[in-house]
Amino acid sequence: MKMPAIGLGTFRLQGQTVIDSVLAGLELGYRHIDTAQIYGNETEIGLALRQSGLAREALFVTTKIWTANLAASALLDSLQASRDALGLERLDLTLIHWPSPGDEISVAESMEALALAQQRGLTRMIGVSNFPISHLRQALDVVGAGAIANQQIEIHPFLQNRKVRAFCQQMAIPVTAYMPLAYGKVMQDPVMQALADKHACSPARVALAWLLEQGYTVIPSSTRRENLEANLMAADLHLDDDDRVAIAALDRNERLASPDFAPAWD
């Protein structure tokens, strides 16, 4: 199964909230769920997947290896634990969540371990997240072009991340845009609101349509059924060149996810 272009984000969602969000999403037609070891919700997501009654082959599930598990000695065991928590025989996609803080563990060590996990059947595909170009080059050196099934990075109208996107395109690495709604900021922006008024829809839908038309996967999160439903319909909205020019002008390098251990960004 290919990665569905619209997935369901689950960062910050815990306990019954994440179960309800994932169950509602699956009922509405989401088939792609994005989690991570650090989100602390893999067990609850596993419960929701089973409760949905959907066949395993109908689902696409991604997790991400946390920075504490990037050493070769830890990565496979941690992925086995994720797989067990999710109740899956194997993940569809497993990403290195962030480069190792201060490059303490080399990209080569983690990518080799991830490729071994793939060979052993723990995950169907492998990829990376929050990798600047320098780290992407190192990952490509280890596993080769074509083996990196995805790079997940922050992209929304206020952080358009053009350099790393261009590099991914050049290397044919598919990109997933995380925080596609800038964690709600898209809804407060007057330009996005004006575009939404023009198309008689929500600013969220404009932002998602803008990303989807460029070929990116999007993984918005929501705790509300009506928002989950609206986000799933975003691909139906067609933007024009004036809309694209207006959104391009909103880029202000506003990065929302930049912890103190983040790599030097491009």
Ligand X SMILES: NC(=O)c1ccc[n+]([C@@H]2O[C@H](COP(=O)([O-])OP(=O)(O)OC[C@H]3O[C@@H](n4cnc5c(N)ncnc54)[C@H](OP(=O)(O)O)[C@@H]3O)[C@@H](O)[C@H]2O)c1
Active site residues: 39
91 beta partners: 123
What are φ and ψ of residue 162, in 5° steps? -65, -40
Number of residues this chain uses to bind ligand X (CB under 6 A): 28
Q: Which of 148, 182, 212, 246 binds ligand X (CB under 6 A)?
A: 182
By beta-carbon proximity to ligand X, the closer residue of 120 and 163 is: 163
Q: Which residue is nearest to ligand X (CB)?
A: 9
Choice from 28, 201, 233, 257 touching ligand X (CB under 6 A)? 257
List binders of ligand X among 162-181 (CB under 6 A).
Answer: 178-181
The structure tokens listed for 102 are: 């201060």
Q: Is 184 in the site for ligand X (CB under 6 A)?
A: yes
Shortest approach of ligand X to residue 33 CB, angstroms? 9
Binding status of residue 9 toward ligand X by CB under 6 A? yes
Q: Check residue 222 for interaction with ligand X (CB under 6 A).
A: yes
* Nearest distance, CB of residue 65 and ligand X, angstroms: 11
Contact with ligand X (CB under 6 A) among 69, 130, 151, 161: 130
Question: Beta strands 91-96 and 60-65: pairing type?
Answer: parallel
Contacting residue, 231, 232, 243, 247, with ligand X by CB under 6 A:
231
Is the CB of residue 218 less than 8 Å from the CB of residue 6?
yes
Please state, in angstroms and rounded to a whole number, the distance separating the CA atoms of residues 162 and 261. Answer: 22
CB atoms within 10 A of CB 246: 19
Q: How far is the CB of 136 from ligand X (least distance, A)?
A: 14
Footprint of ligand X (CB under 6 A)? 9-11, 34, 97, 129-130, 152, 178-184, 187, 202, 204, 219-224, 227, 230-231, 257
